[in-house]
């Protein structure tokens, strides 16, 4: 083959190869262009959707002070405007507060307050105002997170949010105390709690709370005290007003060199108490020049019974470093006792219920050397019985109290005043006087139950009886009250029961075969100021031949168990068995309840 032919074929082959290569890339390029186009389209659609759904068009403006006073309400203002050009649907507001803030009327701090604001038209303005009370620690930074939720015309939900921080830079009310330069352990103490409202807010009512230690015996205050004598009503506190509460008491822990009384001031706003000021009142103690203490029946916390003998031992100890002349000891007695039973080697004045010891009754008191320890004694009895007067019935939480004072005109150089003085108080709680009975009837005194069956009872025949449990209580409230009694063999509960105590229940306990009356609380005065706490239930008794010629047992011994709320002591009282003798049923003649053949 000629060279020229070979060159022609090579040239033709190169053209064919080039053509095939170009043809192979064309589909790939086309597919690439298609994919790029689709991506551009998808991205454009997504961008448009994203743009349309953006929460534009709602302006949220939150206004609040950045610096506030603890306890003084401040205003949180919200302005929300729909400037989107379209109405928004189902909107709501949520305000999240940190622990040191709360919305007016809320009972706990650190809460979330929410409110529905509904639909908001184009160009409409939603205005909200909230009263916020700062109750956190002084100099703490608190946060309010305000969120506005709504739905747009496409049904998508959005949130516009803004955060506000406030600083509790000062207290609206401040406290301080005024106390003596020298405080003697075991002697009377008087100190003043001073408070000042430095804000421009008028507090409608304020309360002072004093957390007295156990060794501090509260005596009195210049402001009304609550039942537990640890909270005091101060009344209103106008802007820039000041006030003082004077508190008197005795600190009697001889081993202590100091003690602290934590104080809190509460503002009463809209029926709620808000802690707005705190103060730790610390007192340093000087050794008492003379000590005086009291024990009852050898104890500092003896709990007396309604009928009991109380032996008082009053001990005095001269720790002054000098001899004390003409010492006088007085014990003023109060509470519930038989005052005619008082026995003492001192002088007892029945009209003032005061026992006095001095040098004429006790020669050792004429000159008490340093370091001398002495004892004085008196005895009395508690003989409680059901009171007959309405005034007596209204009493609650029974006790006998001895307020003991010791004084001498001899004064150590380090003690101010014209006498050496010490005092203490010993309060002896008395358990409540509780009456409990279990009685049976064939002819019930009330119409609550109708009994049937033969009486006198006959062997093999069932007779129905009604059982009455009654509780009367004078003195202290009772809690956890439960009465129970086993049913004897041959006696069953018919299922009928009723009680005057609405919250109580009567049931049959199969495990103990006992009737059980679960009462809960029985209040002081029950059975005296009103009717007794009473339960009535019906039993059916079928006597066996063993009872012929004797009375049949209807209910075994009843037991009452409870807790005395004032003394904390357990109450356990029993009532004897109930038989067919039925001594409380006026229709039953003596001896007629004997079982017959």
pLDDT in tens, 77-90: 999 999 888 899 99
* Confidence grade of residue 182 (pLDDT, cut at 50, 70, 90): confident
Please tell me the predicted confidence (pLDDT) of residue 421. Answer: 84
DSSP tally for the chain: helices H, then strands E: 2, 40
Residue 3 has pLDDT above 70, yes or no: no
Overall average pLDDT of the 119-148 stretch: 90
Residue 26 has pLDDT above 70, yes or no: no
Instruction: Give the list of residues 6+ apart from residue 488 with CB closer than 8 angstroms, or none.
Output: 553, 554, 555, 556
Residue 13 has pLDDT above 60, yes or no: no
Please tell me the predicted confidence (pLDDT) of residue 279. Answer: 94
Overall average pLDDT of the 402-420 stretch: 84
DSSP letter at 303 equals E
* Confidence grade of residue 587 (pLDDT, cut at 50, 70, 90): very high
Mean confidence (pLDDT) of the chain: 87
Please give the Cα distance from 459 to 499 (Å, whole number).
31
Pairing mode, if any, of strands 157-171 and 173-178?
A: unpaired
Overall average pLDDT of the 16-22 stretch: 47
Please tell me the predicted confidence (pLDDT) of residue 112. Answer: 86
The 8 Å CB, 24+ separation contacts for 45-49 are none
Residue 50 has pLDDT above 60, yes or no: no
Q: Phi and psi for 364 in degrees, rounded to 5?
A: -65, -20
DSSP letter at 545 equals G
The tally of CA atoms less than 13 A away on the side-chain side of residue 524 is 18
Buried-exposed string 8-23: b where 16+ CB fall within 10 A, e elsewhere: eeeeeeeeeeeeeeee
Residue 361 has pLDDT above 80, yes or no: yes
Which pair of tokens denotes residue 580?
């067919």
Overall average pLDDT of the 338-364 stretch: 96
For domain 291-430, the CATH architecture is Sandwich (2.60)
Which pair of tokens denotes residue 419?
């006498």
CATH domain 173-284 topology: Immunoglobulin-like (2.60.40)
Overall average pLDDT of the 190-212 stretch: 92
DSSP letter at 105 equals T
Q: How many CB atoms lie within 10 A of CB 138?
A: 14
Please tell me the predicted confidence (pLDDT) of residue 229. Answer: 64
Secondary element (H or E) of residue 548: none
pLDDT tens for each residue of 422-458: 888 899 999 999 999 999 999 998 878 999 999 999 9
Please give the Cα distance from 443 to 440 (Å, whole number).
9
Lowest-confidence segment of 335-344, 394-403, 566-575 by average pLDDT: 394-403
Question: Which residue is associated with the tokens 């002072």?
Answer: 208
Which pair of tokens denotes residue 506?
């009567």
Overall average pLDDT of the 11-36 stretch: 54
Instruction: Give the list of residues 6+ apart from residue 391 with CB closer than 8 angstroms, or none.
Output: none
* Confidence grade of residue 45 (pLDDT, cut at 50, 70, 90): very low
Residue 560 has pLDDT above 90, yes or no: yes
pLDDT tens for each residue of 271-327: 778 888 999 999 988 777 888 899 999 998 899 999 999 999 999 999 888 999 999
Residue 263 has pLDDT above 50, yes or no: yes
Q: Is 398 buried (19+), middle (13-18) or exposed (0-12) by CB count in 10 A? A: buried
Q: 10 with 1: CB under 8 angstroms?
A: no
Q: How many residues does the chain have?
A: 597
Lowest-confidence segment of 323-332, 450-459, 527-536 by average pLDDT: 527-536
Please give the Cα distance from 27 to 143 (Å, whole number).
63
Please give the Cα distance from 476 to 306 (Å, whole number).
11
C-alpha 594, offset from chain centre: 55
Please tell me the predicted confidence (pLDDT) of residue 47. Answer: 43
Q: 485 with 559: CB under 8 angstroms?
A: yes
CATH 2.60.40.10-classified regions of the chain: 58-171
Residue 31 has pLDDT above 70, yes or no: no
Residue 270 has pLDDT above 80, yes or no: no
For domain 58-171, the CATH architecture is Sandwich (2.60)
Please tell me the predicted confidence (pLDDT) of residue 252. Answer: 76
Please tell me the predicted confidence (pLDDT) of residue 43. Answer: 54
Residue 401 has pLDDT above 90, yes or no: yes
Secondary structure of 506-538 in the HEC alphabet?
A: EEEECCCCEEEEEEEEECCCCCCCCCCEEEEEE
CATH 2.60.40.740-classified regions of the chain: 173-284, 291-430
Q: How many CB atoms lie within 10 A of CB 262?
A: 14
Lowest-confidence segment of 42-46, 295-299, 383-387, 506-510 by average pLDDT: 42-46
Please give the Cα distance from 482 to 570 (Å, whole number).
12
Please tell me the predicted confidence (pLDDT) of residue 44. Answer: 52
In angstroms, the first-to-last Cα distance of the chain is 154
Instruction: Give the list of residues 6+ apart from residue 155 with CB closer than 8 angstroms, or none.
Output: none
The string of DSSP codes covering 263-285 is: EEEEEEETTEEEEEEEEEEEEE-
CATH 2.60.40.1170-classified regions of the chain: 433-579
Overall average pLDDT of the 119-135 stretch: 90
* Confidence grade of residue 393 (pLDDT, cut at 50, 70, 90): low
Question: Which residue is associated with the tokens 């949130």?
Answer: 159
Please tell me the predicted confidence (pLDDT) of residue 498. Answer: 95
Secondary structure of 434-454 in the HEC alphabet?
A: EEEEEEEECCCCCCCCCCCCC
Residue 519 has pLDDT above 80, yes or no: yes
The string of DSSP codes covering 15-82 is: HHHHHHHHHHHHHHHHHHHHHHHHHHHHHHHHHHHHHHTS-TTEEEEEE--SEEEET--EEEEEEEEE
CATH superfamily of 433-579: Mu homology domain, subdomain B (2.60.40.1170)
Please give the Cα distance from 534 to 194 (Å, whole number).
52
Q: How far is CA 90 from CA 95, 119, 154, 430, in A?
A: 17, 5, 13, 65
Q: 74 with 134: CB under 8 angstroms?
A: yes
Please tell me the predicted confidence (pLDDT) of residue 56. Answer: 56
Please tell me the predicted confidence (pLDDT) of residue 416. Answer: 66
Residue 372 has pLDDT above 90, yes or no: yes
Residue 6 has pLDDT above 60, yes or no: no
Question: Which residue is associated with the tokens 């006696």?
Answer: 491
Overall average pLDDT of the 100-124 stretch: 82
């Amino acid at each position: 083959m000629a060279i020229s032919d070979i060159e022609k074929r090579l040239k033709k082959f190169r053209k064919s190869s080039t053509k095939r290569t170009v043809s192979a890339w064309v589909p790939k390029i086309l597919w690439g262009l298609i994919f790029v186009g689709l991506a551009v389209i998808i991205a454009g659609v997504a961008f448009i959707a994203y743009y349309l759904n953006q929460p534009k068009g709602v302006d949220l403006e939150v206004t609040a002070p950045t610096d506030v006073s603890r306890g003084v309400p401040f205003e949180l203002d919200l302005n929300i405007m729909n400037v989107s050009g379209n109405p928004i649907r189902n909107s709501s507001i949520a305000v999240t507060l940190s622990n040191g803030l709360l919305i007016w009327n809320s009972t706990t701090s650190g809460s979330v307050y929410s409110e529905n604001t509904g639909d908001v038209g184009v160009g409409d303005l939603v205005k909200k105002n909230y009263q916020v009370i700062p109750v956190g620690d002084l100099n703490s930074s608190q946060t309010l997170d305000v969120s506005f939720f709504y739905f747009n015309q496409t049904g998508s939900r959005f949130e516009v949010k803004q955060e506000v921080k406030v600083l509790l830079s000062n207290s609206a009310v401040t406290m301080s105390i005024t106390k003596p330069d020298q405080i003697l352990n075991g002697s009377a103490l008087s100190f003043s709690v001073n408070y000042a409202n430095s804000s421009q807010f008028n507090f409608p009512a304020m309360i002072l709370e004093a957390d007295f230690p156990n060794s501090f015996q509260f005596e009195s205050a210049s402001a009304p005290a609550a039942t537990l004598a640890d909270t005091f009503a101060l009344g209103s506190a106008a802007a820039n007003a000041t006030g003082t509460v004077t508190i008197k008491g005795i600190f009697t822990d001889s081993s202590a060199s100091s003690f602290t009384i934590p104080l809190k001031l509460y503002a009463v706003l809209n029926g709620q108490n808000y802690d707005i000021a705190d103060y730790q009142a610390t007192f340093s103690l000087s050794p008492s020049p003379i000590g005086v203490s009291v024990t009852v029946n050898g104890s500092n916390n003896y709990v007396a019974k309604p009928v009991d003998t109380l032996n008082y031992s009053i001990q005095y100890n001269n720790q002054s470093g000098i001899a004390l002349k003409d010492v006088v000891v007085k014990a003023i007695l109060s509470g519930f006792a038989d005052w005619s039973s008082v026995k003492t080697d001192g002088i007892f004045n029945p009209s003032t219920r005061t026992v006095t010891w001095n040098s004429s009754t006790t020669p050792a008191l004429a000159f008490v050397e340093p370091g001398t320890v002495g004892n004085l004694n008196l005895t009395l009895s508690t003989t409680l019985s059901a009171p007959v007067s309405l005034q007596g019935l209204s009493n609650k939480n029974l006790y006998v109290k001895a307020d003991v004072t010791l004084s001498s005109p001899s004064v150590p150089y380090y003690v101010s005043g014209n006498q050496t003085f010490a005092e203490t108080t010993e309060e002896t709680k008395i358990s409540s006087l509780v009456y409990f009975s279990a009685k049976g009837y064939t002819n019930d005194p009330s119409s609550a139950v109708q009994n049937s069956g033969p009486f006198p009872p006959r062997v093999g025949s069932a007779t129905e009886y009604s059982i009455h449990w009654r509780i009367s209580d004078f003195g202290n409230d009772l809690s956890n009250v439960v009465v129970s009694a086993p049913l004897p063999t041959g006696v069953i509960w018919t299922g009928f029961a009723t009680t005057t105590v609405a919250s109580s229940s009567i049931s049959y306990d199969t495990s103990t075969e006992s009737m059980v009356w679960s009462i809960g609380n029985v209040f002081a005065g029950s059975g005296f100021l009103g009717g007794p706490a009473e339960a009535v239930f019906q039993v059916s008794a079928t006597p066996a031949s063993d009872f012929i010629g004797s009375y049949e047992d209807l209910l075994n011994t009843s037991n009452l168990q409870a807790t005395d709320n004032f003394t904390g002591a357990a109450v356990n009282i029993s009532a004897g068995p109930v038989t067919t003798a039925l001594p409380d049923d006026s229709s039953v003649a003596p001896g007629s309840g004997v079982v017959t053949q």
